[in-house]
Structures are given as structure tokens and as C-alpha cells.
Structure 1
Amino acid sequence: MAFTRPTGKHRRPRSAARTGAGMAGAATIASGVVATLASPAVAASQDAPRFEDTGLNQAIVIGDDIADQIDAQAVSQEVAAEEAQAKAEARKAAAIKAAEMKRKAEAAEKKAKAEREARERAARDAERRRLNTYVSPVAGSYVSTQYHATSGLWSSGSHTGIDFHASTGTPVRSVGTGTVVEAGWGGAYGNNIVIKMNDGTYTQYGHLDSISVAVGQTVTPGQQIGLAGNTGNSTGAHLHFEARTSPQYGSDIDPLAYLRSHGVSI
């Protein structure tokens, strides 16, 4: 009996069809009979839906697309992870740098503060020393009349202070830090100034030509308080200087020893 392939698409049989035909032939040889029933099977295998017609190829194509998409997504995720890691490392490096800059800034500020405090402390110490310093009441002068010198010129019979050589108009200075307790006419002393010193003693400046301070004013070592002159009971321009234990006349102490005890070289 002859079999004719139905008309239609003529394509090369799939390997699966070829395998089926081989199995049918093997069955015929084993039985010694022409297995006519195998022919319909072969025909059937020939007419079976081809691989190309089943949509399997499309499924495989779709599968490849998905694989490509998965690969692309994996690459994208890997790139994103690398970028995230790079950003994290950059943030960490920036944080470390910021912390180091902050540490340096704090160290610099601490150093500057210490230096500033040291300068201020040195300035205070220098000012303290200056305020505790004593100077001669007339710069570059010398003693022309000694303490307790005797003469009929003085009502007490002796000199209660020392005289510094000075012409009229020579600047007269406070010998130290203190507060003015008297500034004006002082009778025999003429224009005079009395200052209460910080150590509790008093100094007096007599026969002044003019006065440049007022009662209650604070003065410092070397500050000009007036000008030397020839006022009051005086035989010529000079400065009469006294050191006292109180502001009153008669409480005088050796003014030369007083100045020397405070570091003044005369």
C-alpha cells in the first residue's frame, strides 16, 4: 500500500520524527513482518506539528531576552553597588577630613587662646610692676638740700624734706601710684600736692609753679603732676619733697631712705 504525504508545508523532518521512524523499522525487522501499522505512525509523525509551528522557538527567544535583561539588570545593580560604595567611601573620607580640619582648628584656637592669655598675663604683670615702681620726682636731678639740714630758714629749725635741683617749669612727677589728697596752696609750701601712696604712706611736693592734678585723682609712677617753681617760703626755684606717715605736717620720715627703699637710685 502506497502512502502519499499530504500536501502542505514541506519541511525537513525533525530529529524526533527521524528517531520515531528508526524505532518503527527496528520493530519490523524484529517481527519479520512489514509493519504496515508503522507507516501511519510515520505518516503521523510526519504530519505532527513541527517544532517551528509549536511556538517553542518563540518561547526560547523570549527566554533569551529575559536572560539578557537579567544580565543587564545584574550589571546595573553591580554598577549601582560600586557607585554606592564609592559614595560611601567618599563620604567617609570627607568626614575624616572634616574631623581632621576641626581638630586642627580647635588646636589652633587653643594655641591662640593660650598665647593671648599669656600676653594678657604678661601685660598685667608688667602693669603691676609698673604701678609698684617708684621713680625720682624730678628726672635726672639731684638732691641740693639734705633731710634734717639745720637753718633759720625753717620754722622747725631743720629741713623736713629734701630739695631737688630744678628750674622753674621743670616737670614734677609722682614718685609712685596713689591718690591725690591735697592740691593747692599750702602756706609756706606755696603751691603743693600731697598724695596718698598705695603702700599707705604719703608724699608731698612743694613750691610748685603750677598744679596739673586734682583731689581724688589717681596718679601713676612718673605721671606729671605739676611744674617746679618758687612759690611760698622759698629762696629760689626747686622742688621740696617730703615722705610722711600721714598727710599732716610733722609726720615726716627720711625721704631719701624712703625712695631708695622703693628701688630709686639717687
Structure 2
Amino acid sequence: MAFTRATGKHRARSRMTRRGANMATVASLTAAGAIGTLGSPALAADAEAAVAQDAAPAAAPAPVIVIDGSLAATIDAQADAQHLAARKAEAEAKAEAKRKAAAKRKAEARAKEAREAEERAARAAERKRLASFQLPVAGSPVTTGYRTGGALWSSGSHSGVDFRAASGTSVVAVGAGTVVEAGWGGAYGNNVVIRMNDGTFTQYGHLSSIGVSVGQSVTPGARIGLSGSTGNSTGPHLHFEARTTAEYGSDIDPVAYLRAHGVGV
């Protein structure tokens, strides 16, 4: 038998129409048991795929967020506040750093002032020590006074004072100065003469031994030798003189000299 299509313009059925017809056909065939017995496996799979595709939900459109003017203003205000807070924190950090630097400089200045004060005090103490005077033999009394007369002295009188000192007793410089004579001194035996820093001279006679040399600087209390009985001496003692020059005959009162320099005699 032959079939013919009526003449005229025809529009193909839409996909939805075709799918609906197919589904109707599948449904009718299924109800009749045709798919399970007469239909091919491919036809059954196509029908099931079509049903699953039609049952799948359509993709949801992307959400759109709309920000009104008041919310935008709030966000801007928060951003400005955060910016101001950051600037404030930075300014505070810089101020704190400056404060610490200033405190450090002050502490260093105070430490420097303290060191300088200590150094000044030490220099003053050293100057005082160097300017100080003391007895040539510690704790010893004068046994023969200045200008005492007698045949023991060629000039007819004592040109200095004698301090009691057993042989071997330490003899020290009464003040700071420089040794200008150290050796044998005739009637004085072993003797030392020191030019003092104030321009005067002191002499130490009858020593058993000498512990300094010419040109040596001495400080108050520095040991210059040991007492004895060398030279024109009747027994161990220290002969001490104060002079205006290094030469014999320029003597001055040694007791008054020591007292003028703060030494109790």
C-alpha cells in the first residue's frame, strides 16, 4: 500500500510537541506491556532519558545584591573610622617612640653627669691627697727641737728636728715632690732631699738605707728609705729639715712648716 502526503506547506512539530507525543506513546506502550516485550532496549533507554531530562529542575539564576544609599554611607563611614583609627595608632606609636628616645637621652645625660661628677670628685680627692702632708715617721714624737744649741752641731745649733725612730723604721715623704738628692750627705749620713710641689725642700738624714733615686716623683706617704744612725749621729733616729732651697743653711722651722700644711706635731 502507498501513502501520500497532502500537498501544501506544513510546519514541523516543535520539540515539546514531539516529546509529549513520544511520552504519550511510551506511556501507552508501557501500559500495554509493549516496551517490556516488543520494544527494543534502545527505545526504552531513550524514553527514560527523556523523562529524566524533563523532570530535572532548571538552574537557578545568580543572585543580585542591591545596596541602597544608606547602607553605602554606613560602609563608607566605617572605612573612614578604620582609616582614622589606623592613623591615630601610627601617630601614638611615633609619639611613644619619641618619648622613649627622649627618656633615653635624658638617662644617658644623667649617667654622663654622674660619671663626670665622680671623676671631678676623684680628681679633687687626688689633688687634696697630693697637696696633703704628713709626718715623716708615723706617730713619732719630736725628740730634739729646732735651733737647739750644743756642740753636736757644727753651726752651734740644730738645723732641723729629730723624730724618734728605731733602726729600720719606714721613713716616708711628707708630701708630693721630686727627689733631687739621694745618697751620702756627709754629717747627715745617707740622706734624701725632695723638692716639694709647693717649691720648698725637705731633707731626711741618718738613713740606714735609701729607697728612691734622683728624678723620681713621690707622693705623700711614699716610702723613701729606712731610719738608721749613719753620719754624725749618736743613735738611731730621723733628722728632718725644711728648707727654702736644696742647700744647707736655708733651713726653716720644720714644726711650723708641717703645721702650716695641716700636720699635727
Same fold (TM over 0.5): yes
Measure the CA separation in 1 of the matches of 2:107 and 2:124. Answer: 25
- Which sections of structure 2, spanning at least 5 residues, go unmatched? 1-60
**Counterpart secondary structure, 1:154:** coil
> Does 82-91 or 109-118 show the bigger shift?
82-91
Q: Deviations over 1:55-113 (max 9, x none)?
A: xxxxxx99x94744999987776555444333222211111111111121111112112
Name the structure 2 match of 1:113.
Answer: 112
Name the structure 2 match of 1:148.
Answer: 147
Name the structure 1 match of 2:50.
Answer: none
Q: CA deviation at 1:227?
A: 1.0
After superposition, residues 1-266 of structure 1 pair within 5 angstroms as 65=64, 67-68=66-67, 80-266=79-265
Name the structure 2 match of 1:18.
Answer: none
Q: CA deviation at 1:180?
A: 0.7
Measure the CA separation in 1 of the matches of 2:64 and 2:192. Answer: 112
The amino acid of 2:175's aligned partner reads G
> What CA RMSD, in Å, does the superposition of the two structures yield over aligned residues?
2.4
Measure the CA separation in 1 of the matches of 2:117 and 2:108. Answer: 14
The amino acid of 1:199's aligned partner reads D
Q: Deviations over 1:111-161 (max 9, x none)?
A: 112222211111111111111111111110000111111222212221111
**Counterpart secondary structure, 2:204:** strand
Measure the CA separation in 2 of the matches of 1:225 and 1:77. Answer: 93
Identity value in percent: 58
**Counterpart secondary structure, 1:149:** coil
Q: TM-score, normalised by structure 1?
A: 0.71
Structure 1 residues 194 and 74: CA distance shift in structure 2, 3 A: same
**Counterpart secondary structure, 1:128:** helix
The amino acid of 2:135's aligned partner reads S
Measure the CA separation in 2 of the matches of 1:83 and 1:225. Answer: 83
**Counterpart secondary structure, 2:99:** helix
Name the structure 1 match of 2:48.
Answer: none
Name the structure 2 match of 1:40.
Answer: none
Measure the CA separation in 2 of the matches of 1:69 and 1:198. Answer: 98
Measure the CA separation in 2 of the matches of 1:82 and 1:218. Answer: 78
Q: TM-score, normalised by structure 2?
A: 0.71
Q: Deviations over 1:3-54 (max 9, x none)?
A: xxxxxxxxxxxxxxxxxxxxxxxxxxxxxxxxxxxxxxxxxxxxxxxxxxxx
**Counterpart secondary structure, 2:256:** helix
The amino acid of 2:261's aligned partner reads H
Measure the CA separation in 1 of the matches of 2:209 and 2:87. Answer: 82
- Which sections of structure 1, spanning at least 5 residues, go unmatched? 1-60
Q: Could you list the runs of 4 or more consecutive aligned residues of structure 1 that deviate by over 6 angstroms after TM superposition?
A: 69-76
Measure the CA separation in 2 of the matches of 1:184 and 1:66. Answer: 115
Q: CA deviation at 1:245?
A: 0.8
